[in-house]
Chain A
Amino acid sequence: MAALIRMIAQRLALGVLTLFIVSVVIFFATELLPGDLASTLLGQAATPETVAALRRQLGLDLPAPVRYWNWLTGALQGDFGVSLANRRPIADLIAARLGNTIFLALYAAALAVPLALILGILAALWRNSVFDRAANAGALTAISFPEFFVAYILVLWLAQSGYFPSMVRISPVSTFGEKLYMAFLPALTLTLVVTAHMMRMTRAAIINLMAQPYIEMARLKGMSPLRIVLRHALPNALAPIINVIAINLAYLITGVVVVEVVFVYPGLGQLMVDSVSKRDIAVVQAIALIFASAYVLLNLTADVLSTLTNPRLMSKG
């Protein structure tokens, strides 16, 4: 157990370092973009005088390293500052949207993960059967269509006929049931997009193990195929499956801006895109850090879980 704790501590320290590097890269990458917040905010209305005045007001006339340092010291004290564009506290701006994004990611994961595992196990069990082929073909088809296309098809079938709303309007007073109902179509879209990857990894990992001598031994003992898969193959196949699930969860948190746009879902992706196009670096930084943390934490969780599932790794320390 001490080994495990040491590993977690080590990984967390490395994670913090990663986050720092990410923040430097993001800051200077946004610096490279042409134009700055003052001129993009004023848009067509930008004249040299108004841009200069706004730049002075926002502190954009300071050199880039100074601005980065100011931001970093603020962030370390838990103060992300205010949005340069509309002077609202960034924490407020992000909090509601982060909640929405996580809700949608968990909703989609709650549908997709059990579905992928069941389909993957059954497909491995009945390898090369009609079911296996159909499940594979269906999942691959769903993943091959662009997300917005899947989304529009669902809108056509399920929203225009009046079963589900085509637009998600979540407010702080919505009940959990209302939220589930309103966010069903985006969650279903994401489910269709991520299921294939997890299902195929489950199937491949189990099939890979089925050729092992100990499985043959179990079969010779006369065990039922389902029992062999669940008791003997699956536990050993968990490590790669957990890793794939972690990557897909990270994707659900960070990469769903297209689905957000189609269903008018107020998540972090849209906020990130708006902030980049307006060069609102303070907000971009904060969101980039959240996204990077999501990857770091999910990968860490995946590593810990796969270590736990493997007694050999546990005892070696």
Chain B
Amino acid sequence: MTHDLRKGALTRRGVLQGATALGAAGLILPGSMRAARAEPQRGGTFRIGLGHGNTTDGYDPGLWDNLYAQVFAAARHNQLIEVDADGQLIGEIAESWESDDGKTWVFHIRQGVTFHSGKDVTVADVIASLNHHRGDDATSAIKQFFDPVVEIRADGQSVVVTLDAPNGDFPYLMSDYHLAIMPGSDGKIDPTSTDGCGPYIVESFEPGVQASLNRNPDYWKPGRAHFDRVEILAILDSAARLNALMTGQVELIDQIDPATIGMLEARNVARIISIPGNAHYVFPMDSRAAPFNDNNVRLALKYAIDREDMVEKILGGHGAVSNDNPIGPANRYFYADMEPKTFDPDRAKYYLRQAGMDSLTIPLHVADAAFSGAVDAGALFAETARQAGININLVREPNDGYWDNVWMQKPFVASYWGGRAVEDHMFTTGYAAGAAWNDSFWEHERFNELLVKARSEVDEDLRREMYQEMQRIVSFEGAVVIPMNNNYVMATALNIGTPDQISANWNLDGFRCVERWWMT
């Protein structure tokens, strides 16, 4: 399948997936079509109720870790590069960028953009913003992106970044949401400041409660930032969130419980938007420890899971089966034609015998902190695996401290990934030998060799071949069971207009709903 065709499929699916998947097209379609086709218009207050947000949230870009922080950041900041709704890179504070050898990257900084404080955005500000995530003292979650960076320097109106090895996808890394451009002084940004060059200016922020922002009258992008005012509320309780939407107290909510989608649709007070993306739920195994150091055991587990059933029961149909592939359908080099793995107890038994076992008993450590429904997903997995002679003992762990004491500590656990726009980003973060988040502790010689080679390969076809081989290796020899890609499911009031295509890169239109959507 070619790249373009697949993208077409995504375009059509984007907005309408939720409606058609649920067979309620008659109810939902007219509203969504009308909203999608109307021309954007200025005005209104956009109130967003999110199931995230803590009293501990702050302004430091290196520590943003939840959807609340991400949407709030997208409302007040710009980055060097934006990922558009098609998954393509477009210039934001970097007007354009180029590299001759993949090693030296030149980002030309857009002129005439100002911060909310009125100060011009300069090359020095950009360098200070990038350096916040770099160096030994950096506390940023994306510190490892900058490990290969040798030097960042100014060159007239450009920023020049030199890497220690070629990487054709480096600009994609620069589109990461942590890389907000903030005003610098003495080469440092102030991580307690709200000042940015984004579409909205912060009026007030109470962590874990609400943030109010007003439109930036000097925003440089034409045809963006349509709302006069944006209010982002933290509504952690899912019933409270639904109530707020149904009683007209907010215009957008995230994380709809699959069980309530049908009821919400029947009321005809909201539009459900379900976006298939690269996000996925996983069960990583510690590939260093017995029995998971034997690939036969890993394959046995991969054939002992009923993926279709899991998409139906855990995601309520709002997702797709994954073939143990961390690269999703929204990626450029997604390997769609890879031989699928169906639930096959006989085949699982066969691999178990190959490993020299008749039966196997293993603990699986789960908590809903891993992903919503993880405990149920573990129970389903245990149920199907039993038919293949594998006894999975479900160990229920507390949500509190899950990422410290269970994930990457116990040999077989549940986890999730938000998905990444480029293959290299995903593989380097989660599957490269020695990567900090390689949660299966997996090392594969051929894979690691290809990973480095593919980065600097310029021939598109060769590159595609390499990435597809890597996907095959991860799927059939990797140590992570990836049963499903979860859709981003959100609901809006009927008076909210959205573009024809909504980004699959991240949740809520790549966090950019605040600047891309409008009120009809």
A residues lining the B interface (CB < 8 Å): 33-35, 39-50, 53-54, 57, 83, 85-88, 93, 96, 152, 155, 159-160, 162, 165-167, 169, 261-264, 266, 270-271, 274-275, 277-278, 280, 283
Kindly identify which residue among B54, B55, B63, B401 contacts A34, using a CB–CB cutoff of 8 Å. B401
Contact A45 B247 (CB under 8 A): no
Contact A264 B65 (CB under 8 A): no
Which 8 interchain pairs have the tightest Cβ spacing?
A: A86-B58, A45-B141, A85-B56, A35-B404, A47-B436, A274-B55, A166-B243, A54-B139
B residues lining the A interface (CB < 8 Å): 54-60, 63, 65, 136-144, 192, 206-210, 233-237, 239-240, 243-244, 246-247, 249, 400-401, 403-405, 407, 415, 436-437
- The docked-state distance in angstroms from the alpha carbon of A165 to that of B235 is 14
- The docked-state distance in angstroms from the alpha carbon of A85 to that of B59 is 10
Kindly identify which residue among B139, B144, B209, B415 contacts A53, using a CB–CB cutoff of 8 Å. B139
A42 in contact with B63 given A47-B143, A167-B243 (CB within 8 Å): yes
A266 in contact with B209 given A50-B141, A85-B56 (CB within 8 Å): yes
Contacts of A42 in B (CB 8 A): 63, 65, 139, 141
Contact A169 B237 (CB under 8 A): no
Kindly identify which residue among B60, B138, B247 contacts A50, using a CB–CB cutoff of 8 Å. B138
Minimum CB distance partner of B370 in chain A: A44
- The docked-state distance in angstroms from the alpha carbon of A43 to that of B56 is 13
| Interface residues of B, dominant DSSP | loop
Contacts of A45 in B (CB 8 A): 65, 141-142
Instruction: Say how far A61's CB is from chain B's closest CB, in angstroms.
Output: 13
A262 in contact with B208 given A93-B55, A165-B249, A274-B56 (CB within 8 Å): no
Minimum CB distance partner of A156 in chain B: B243
Minimum CB distance partner of A58 in chain B: B139
17 contacts between A and B (CB under 8 A): A33-B400, A39-B404, A43-B403, A45-B65, A49-B143, A57-B139, A85-B56, A86-B57, A87-B60, A93-B207, A155-B243, A160-B247, A167-B249, A169-B210, A261-B236, A262-B237, A275-B55
Contacts of B209 in A (CB 8 A): 266
> Which of A35, A45, A277 has most B Cβ within 10 Å?
A45
Instruction: Say how far B397's CB is from chain A's closest CB, in angstroms.
Output: 11
Contact A274 B63 (CB under 8 A): no
A87 in contact with B58 given A166-B240, A167-B240, A266-B209 (CB within 8 Å): yes
- The docked-state distance in angstroms from the alpha carbon of A241 to that of B333 is 73
Instruction: Say how far B333's CB is from chain A's closest CB, in angstroms.
Output: 25
Contacts of A167 in B (CB 8 A): 233, 235, 240, 243-244, 247, 249
Kindly identify which residue among B192, B208, B401 contacts A33, using a CB–CB cutoff of 8 Å. B401
Contacts of B136 in A (CB 8 A): 49, 53
Contact B239 A86 (CB under 8 A): no
Instruction: Say how far B211's CB is from chain A's closest CB, in angstroms.
Output: 12
Contacts of B60 in A (CB 8 A): 86-87
Instruction: Say how far B222's CB is from chain A's closest CB, in angstroms.
Output: 33
Contact B401 A166 (CB under 8 A): no
Instruction: Say how far B426's CB is from chain A's closest CB, in angstroms.
Output: 14
A162 in contact with B247 given A85-B56, A264-B240, A274-B54 (CB within 8 Å): yes
Contacts of A283 in B (CB 8 A): 55
A166 in contact with B206 given A42-B65, A47-B144, A57-B139 (CB within 8 Å): no
Contacts of A49 in B (CB 8 A): 136, 143
Instruction: Say how far B136's CB is from chain A's closest CB, in angstroms.
Output: 7
- The docked-state distance in angstroms from the alpha carbon of A271 to that of B59 is 18
Apart from A33-B400, A166-B247, A264-B236, list 12 A-B contacts with CB within 8 A.
A35-B401, A53-B139, A86-B58, A159-B247, A166-B243, A166-B244, A264-B233, A264-B237, A264-B240, A264-B244, A266-B209, A283-B55
- The docked-state distance in angstroms from the alpha carbon of A44 to that of B282 is 14
Instruction: Say how far B436's CB is from chain A's closest CB, in angstroms.
Output: 4
A261 in contact with B240 given A42-B141, A47-B143 (CB within 8 Å): yes
Kindly identify which residue among A83, A155, A266 contacts B56, using a CB–CB cutoff of 8 Å. A83
- The docked-state distance in angstroms from the alpha carbon of A57 to that of B58 is 16
Contacts of B246 in A (CB 8 A): 160
Instruction: Say how far A10's CB is from chain B's closest CB, in angstroms.
Output: 37
- The docked-state distance in angstroms from the alpha carbon of A39 to that of B404 is 7
Contact A261 B249 (CB under 8 A): no
- The docked-state distance in angstroms from the alpha carbon of A49 to that of B209 is 31
- The docked-state distance in angstroms from the alpha carbon of A202 to that of B403 is 50
Contacts of A278 in B (CB 8 A): 54, 56
Contacts of A57 in B (CB 8 A): 137, 139
Contacts of B143 in A (CB 8 A): 47, 49-50
Contact A40 B138 (CB under 8 A): no
Contact A262 B59 (CB under 8 A): no
Contact B235 A88 (CB under 8 A): no
- The docked-state distance in angstroms from the alpha carbon of A34 to that of B59 is 26
Contact A44 B65 (CB under 8 A): yes
> Which of B139, B237, B249 has most A Cβ within 10 Å?
B139
Contact B208 A271 (CB under 8 A): yes
- The docked-state distance in angstroms from the alpha carbon of A34 to that of B398 is 11
Minimum CB distance partner of A86 in chain B: B58
Kindly identify which residue among A44, A54, A162, A263 contacts B240, using a CB–CB cutoff of 8 Å. A263
Instruction: Say how far B387's CB is from chain A's closest CB, in angstroms.
Output: 32
Instruction: Say how far B89's CB is from chain A's closest CB, in angstroms.
Output: 23
- The docked-state distance in angstroms from the alpha carbon of A264 to that of B209 is 8
- The docked-state distance in angstroms from the alpha carbon of A127 to that of B232 is 53
Instruction: Say how far B268's CB is from chain A's closest CB, in angstroms.
Output: 15
- The docked-state distance in angstroms from the alpha carbon of A41 to that of B65 is 8
- The docked-state distance in angstroms from the alpha carbon of A164 to that of B489 is 28
- The docked-state distance in angstroms from the alpha carbon of A15 to that of B8 is 70
- The docked-state distance in angstroms from the alpha carbon of A83 to that of B401 is 20
